[in-house]
Amino acid sequence: MSETPRRIFVLLTAAVLCASSAAWANGRFPRADQLVATPGRPEQLVLRATFGLLVSRDAGASWQWICEEAVGFVGQEDPAVAVLAGGRLLAGLSAGLAQASDTFCSWQFAQLSDTPIELVDLTVRPLQPESAVALAWERTDANAFGYRSLFFSTNDAGTSWESFGTGIDPSVLVLTVDVAPSDPRRLYASGIRPAARTAALFVSTDAGGSWSERLAPFDSPREQGLYIAAVDPLSPERVYLRSSGASSSRLLVTDDAGLSFDELFSGRSLLGFALSPDGSEIYVGGPEDGLWWASRDARVFEQRSSIPILCLMSLANLLYACSNEQLGFALGESSDGGRQFAAKLHLSEVRGPVACAPETSGGVCAAAWPAISERLGIPPERAAVPSGASTDGMPAATEGRCSVGSAPSAGSSSLAPVFPLCLGMAYMFRRVGRRRRSP
């Protein structure tokens, strides 16, 4: 491709993405858009929202808030969220990998690299929930979009992390990573080649020691990204992928690890995807598309609900969905495969910040709570700061802890600069393409 068409493609892609980002700015309407459960503790749920994180220890009967400042959010963030065995909570941020114990109070950045990196994706091994894999971007001048991919893993529930694998061709912008539940050495990654305007699924059968590239269907410029939705829990070669664009999105599947692909479903913006625990049932949906269901064998989709779908998670015999609060609820639960939902969260029911000591996240979250509670429509009589938190101003920034206006601590992997919205195409891919992972 000549340099002129290449520049036109990059500028058009950035323009499309930036045009859709205005509603994502700070002050956007509060909503939730990713749900994860703690391994071995299905009653402990973590919900990502546009104003921080929400946690429930009673299967969604009540929710408490973790503020963005405590975690280490910088500007607009839609971080990948995961929970390890033992309850350690992970958040993949532009500043690095933030971690907190199951009290959710003392947040620290993991030491992953001596150079600034941005965490892009996280996946926990279903059969080894103390183990997780992280995808990061390192800034570089070696290619047009300014990033190269790195992979990190933990085998001790987040106590330590190590880099692994050979990496993927730096001319590829790697967007997601996943593991095969039934084959711990099999990894998948998805990405695009911006210069060639192609997308691919990358396959490793030796735990990242080497990668094979398999070209995937990709309609450029209508589609701008390709993201792994899930790997089948029983068949390690069956992978579901989601494409995304400004007004079109497709669900693809490969049964042979990327040697061939089938299109299962198409819609406008497929933000939600989930598999039943045994992989026999497929759920997909979006804000304009509603909720659709198909069996793994028949692969014929039927609409189960018209509610807007912002995220999906299947857990045991329950299906959870993030939706539009203005049209029903922020989070709902279904016991009949998505035909009917019971509200598990209205944002006006959030009970306040997680109770933490002022020297951890208690001070910063308590100080931010009055403005957030007003924004969520919480009545003043229910908006009091809970016992254990403090409103005595903001805590001073200390090592491994963030407060309002403070930079992440020196010596951590969190020294990445703040990248303004729409400054680079790669950064926008991370925001627009953030997948909603099924457990």
Peptide bond connecting 408 to the previous residue in cis, omega within 30 degrees of 0 = no
Q: What is the mean pLDDT of residues 34-42?
A: 96
Q: For residues 202 and 116, give the distance between their C-alpha atoms in angstroms, rounded to a whole number.
A: 25
pLDDT digits (tens, 9 = 90+) for 266-308: 999 999 999 999 999 999 999 999 999 999 999 999 999 999 9
What is the arithmetic mean of pLDDT over 189-202?
Answer: 95
pLDDT-derived band at 140, boundaries 50, 70, 90: confident
CB 346 within 8 A of CB 325: yes
Q: Which of 266, 316, 331, 317 is nearest to 292 (CA)?
A: 266
Q: What is the predicted pLDDT for the residue at 385?
A: 62
Residues 312-367 have pLDDT tens digits of: 999 999 999 999 998 999 999 999 999 999 999 999 999 999 999 887 877 899 99
Range name among 90-104, 117-131, 388-402 with the lowest pLDDT average:
388-402
Q: Select the highest-mean-pLDDT range: 228-232, 243-247, 394-398.
A: 228-232
pLDDT value at 25 more than 70: no
What is the pTM for the complete model shown? 0.83
Q: Which residues contact 202 (CB under 8 A, 6 or more apart)?
A: 168, 172, 174, 188, 189, 190, 191, 211, 212, 213, 214
Write down the pLDDT at residue 324. 94
Q: What is the mean pLDDT of residues 393-421?
A: 29
pLDDT at 143: 67
Question: Please, what are the domains in the chain?
Answer: 3-350+416-432 (2.130.10.10)
371-to-4, 222, 367 alpha-carbon distances in Å: 48, 39, 9
Longest distance between any two alpha carbons in the chain, whole Å = 64
Residue with tokens 């699924």: 201
